[in-house]
Structure 1
Amino acid sequence: MLRALTVLVAAGLAVAAVWLLLDLRRLQAAERASGEALSAARSYAPDMLSYDYRTIERDMLRAGAHATGQLAEHYRTLAATLGPQARERRTVQHAVVAAAGVESATPEEVRVLLFVNMVTTRSGPGQEEPKQQVSQGRARLVMVTQGDGWRASRLSTLLGDTPVP
């Protein structure tokens, strides 16, 4: 009886140890993914949020190269819709990441919250001096693995208290 109980306890401990080891590996993979995706998001965000009316088609192509899925398609069509308006108003938008952090992470998907400083300069028809607006904002990039790197699958700007989907 005592021997059977000892074997049962040992088997239970072995199962628990294997489960903990597998969970540890998953957590370590998520931690590695966090670092890689955070670095990629900080690097990609200025390209994805900045444009110049003189080079808007090139800017949108560069931004789309950091994206995947519907977000990449969005950047492919954005130049056509944003371009005429940006050229008319001579808009230049420059984004700088002030801070960033990981909201959640799995080995395949990492949600990154970015605090972004934006400088937008416009000089429309009839305006002698360009107008410059400085703003601070938040954005969330959902980063996913693709091939041997990370790409943005979703981008959302955050206003107020926005729940994590």
Structure 2
Amino acid sequence: MVVVLGLAVVSLAVAVAVLLVGPAGSGTDTEAARRSALEAARERTLALTSYDYRQLEENFAGVLATATGQFATDYQDTTAQLRPTFTDAQAVASATVVAAGLESFAPDRAVAVIAVDQVIATKDAPPRTERNRLRMTLVRPADTWLVERVERL
């Protein structure tokens, strides 16, 4: 009984150490990559949720510069449809990331969950705040994190 209890305590201590320290081979490089992925998610979210009808080309190009795959295609299609609406309404949106965290992480792929407040104003309506929650999948084929998918939660 004492041996079993002792083994259970040792096993628990090892499990806690692995959770706190991380698996073998992790360390500052992994932590730096995690921070990089989270910072990229924050930046990409702000670019995606902030726009000004007077600078739509620049706003949209900024998002596309860090988009990949189907998300890039869908974003191009959507913005082509929204451009006239945003321009006619004189829409301006500014965003603030309220909170962000990584749901999962690998050196070349990360999934972040982001809470963002977006203040939207048009020529016909006073500013209003929309609270959005997003799940963003990022991939890193080289040195830059690219947005592969965005889901509204």
Q: Is TM > 0.5 for Structure 1 vs Structure 2?
A: yes
Deviation at 1:109, TM superposition (A): 0.9
In 2, distance between residues paired with 1:62 and 1:75?
12
Partner residue in 2 for 1:131: 126
CA RMSD of aligned residues (A): 2.0
Larger radius of gyration: 1
Answer yes or no: is the 8 Å Cα contact 1:64–1:73 preserved in 2.
no
Give the total of aligned pairs: 131
Kindly report which structure 2 residues correspond to 1:72-151, keeping only aligned pairs within 5 A, or say none: 72-124=72-124, 130-151=125-146
TM-score normalised according to structure 1 size: 0.71
In 2, distance between residues paired with 1:103 and 1:154?
14
Partner residue in 2 for 1:17: none
Moved more, 67-76 or 113-122: 67-76
Gaps of 5+ in 2: 1-17
Deviation at 1:32, TM superposition (A): 4.1
Answer yes or no: is the 8 Å Cα contact 1:52–1:93 preserved in 2.
yes
In 1, distance between residues paired with 2:44 and 2:105?
18
Gaps of 5+ in 1: 1-19, 125-129, 159-165
- Residues 120-145 of structure 1 deviation map (CA, whole Å, 9 limit, x = unaligned): 00124xxxxx4211121111111111
